[in-house]
């Protein structure tokens, strides 16, 4: 079997493999007291305020669909899409009536009509993509004029990201000693259970979570995709490991460089 080359700049297949392997346990992060439960509440409030009652929302990279389901329960019309079929299986199991769309890992165009959504949320997705400007441009295309894209990305100012930066540099030479070959999501071969599996999953994550940039970089990327700065309702400025950015599609004409985001 040919294994995907991680260091190839456009490699997307290893990302799918990584998240397929994480799918069975992802929803547990949203259980009461889970690591992501608070994040879901904050993002849901922001998306609901931006999309308006009954608004159409695209959850790009929806994972196991927890945020999408939360938004649907709040009355929004939500479409979840992802490159990981295993993640979407979890989403469908939890909400068989939901709209779940599988994307080709190498997608360049989203399978949705221009202007179809009032808001797009990409929660911890853009760090894994090969070309963030191209993805943001597609988000802009599927947004209705005046619609907003919300994204969370790693906040490079947070100490946990400094440690990840260091760990990523150690993981590259350590990988072969752990049985890793660059480019192969190890979890695909050996499963992700147990301490060794978790360590391999972490090494994969460090290598695949490759878009680590500051707020100004993301603002410039959004500007290149034709998006404008947007105020994110309820963003508190609290210090956290994620940066929440909001960008708006202009009602006419093209965008200009967008404003930096806030921490969540």
**Cα gap 256→61, rounded to integer Å:** 26
In the shown chain, the binding pattern of residues 105 to 124 toward ligand SAM, with x for contact by CB under 6 A and - for none, equals: ------------------xx
Residue with the shortest CB distance to ligand SAM: 63
Size of the site for ligand SAM (CB under 6 A): 19
User: Which CB, 61 or 229, lies closer to ligand SAM?
Assistant: 61
Under the binding rule (CB under 6 A), the answer on residue 129 touching ligand SAM is yes
In the shown chain, the binding pattern of residues 23 to 62 toward ligand SAM, with x for contact by CB under 6 A and - for none, equals: -------------x-----------------------xxx
Among 14, 63, 132, 255, binds ligand SAM (CB under 6 A): 63
Under the binding rule (CB under 6 A), the answer on residue 17 touching ligand SAM is no
Under the binding rule (CB under 6 A), the answer on residue 82 touching ligand SAM is yes
Among 46, 69, 79, 84, binds ligand SAM (CB under 6 A): 84
Under the binding rule (CB under 6 A), the answer on residue 83 touching ligand SAM is yes
User: Which CB, 55 or 61, lies closer to ligand SAM?
Assistant: 61
Contacting residues toward ligand SAM, per CB under 6 A: 12, 15, 19, 36, 60-63, 67, 82-84, 87, 103, 123-125, 128-129
């Amino acid at each position: 079997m040919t294994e995907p080359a991680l260091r190839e700049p456009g490699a997307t297949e290893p990302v799918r493999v990584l998240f397929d392997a994480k799918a069975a346990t992802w929803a547990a992060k949203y259980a009461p007291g889970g690591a992501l439960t608070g994040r879901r509440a904050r993002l849901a409030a922001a998306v609901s305020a931006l999309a308006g009652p009954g608004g159409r929302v695209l959850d790009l990279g929806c994972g196991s669909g927890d945020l999408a389901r939360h938004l649907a329960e709040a009355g929004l019309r939500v479409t979840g899409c992802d490159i990981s079929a295993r993640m979407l299986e979890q989403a469908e199991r939890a909400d068989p009536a939901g709209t779940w769309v599988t994307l080709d890992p190498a997608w360049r165009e989203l399978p949705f009509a221009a202007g179809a959504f009032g808001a797009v949320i990409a929660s911890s997705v853009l760090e894994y993509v090969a070309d963030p400007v191209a993805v943001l441009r597609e988000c802009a295309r599927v947004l209705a004029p005046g619609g907003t894209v919300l994204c969370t990305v790693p906040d490079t100012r947070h100490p946990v990201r400094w440690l990840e930066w260091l760990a990523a540099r150690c993981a590259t030479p350590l990988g072969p000693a752990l049985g890793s070959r660059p480019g192969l999501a190890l979890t695909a071969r050996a499963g992700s259970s147990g301490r060794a599996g978790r360590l391999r999953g972490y090494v994969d994550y460090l290598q695949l979570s490759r878009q680590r940039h500051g707020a100004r970089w993301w603002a410039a990327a959004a500007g290149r995709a034709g998006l404008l700065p947007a105020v994110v309702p309820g963003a508190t400025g609290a210090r956290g490991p994620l940066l929440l950015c909001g960008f708006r599609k202009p009602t006419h004409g093209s965008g200009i460089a967008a404003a930096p985001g806030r921490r969540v």
